[in-house]
């Protein structure tokens, strides 16, 4: 079954860029859509966006000006960049496979990113 693992800094300074990578194992990144979802502490889930393995992406309008997603098929990884972060971006960030472009059926364990100086 597909396995996903998020990686990246757990602490980011305000106004800087948050960068995370999701490594996909036991399965190919090709032919699939891939999601990023986040969850602030003690709050609900927020959809960040998704990307097709070809690089076509859709982003949450509230984050669109700050978000970039990319795919590296040679490494079987996809990535998230969020610029100009503030404390409001502190959250657990999840990556997931978006099967058939609509259902997140496999998830990473999540990684906590804290925005603080």
List residues binding other proteins (CB under 8 A). Answer: 37, 44-47, 50, 58, 60-61, 94, 96, 101-105, 107-110
- Other Cβ atoms closer than 10 A to 59: 18
Longest Cα–Cα distance in the chain: 40
Closest CB to other proteins among residues 10, 61: 61
Q: How far is the CB of 41 from other proteins (least distance, A)?
A: 12
Spatial CA neighbour of 35 closest among 26, 45, 23, 48 = 48
Q: How far is the CB of 80 from other proteins (least distance, A)?
A: 15
Per-position b or e across 74-88, b if 16+ CB within 10 A of its CB: eebbbbbebeebeee
Q: How far is the CB of 16 from other proteins (least distance, A)?
A: 26
Q: How far is the CB of 40 from other proteins (least distance, A)?
A: 12
Closest CB to other proteins among residues 16, 110: 110
Q: How many whole angstroms separate alpha carbon 96 and alpha carbon 4?
A: 7
Closest CB to other proteins among residues 16, 46: 46
Spatial CA neighbour of 96 closest among 9, 11, 38 = 38
Closest CB to other proteins among residues 27, 110: 110
What tokens were used for 53? Answer: 């393995």
């Amino acid at each position: 079954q597909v396995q996903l693992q998020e990686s990246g800094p757990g602490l980011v300074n305000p106004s800087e860029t948050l960068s995370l990578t999701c490594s996909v194992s036991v399965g190919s990144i090709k032919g699939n859509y891939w999601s990023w979802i986040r969850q602030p502490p003690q709050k609900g889930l927020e959809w960040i966006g998704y990307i097709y393995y070809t690089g076509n992406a859709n982003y949450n309008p509230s984050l669109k000006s700050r978000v970039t997603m990319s795919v590296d098929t040679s490494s079987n990884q996809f990535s998230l960049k969020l610029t100009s972060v503030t404390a409001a971006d502190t959250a657990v960030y999840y990556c997931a496979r978006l099967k058939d472009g609509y259902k997140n059926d496999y998830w990473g364990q999540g990684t906590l990113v804290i925005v603080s100086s």
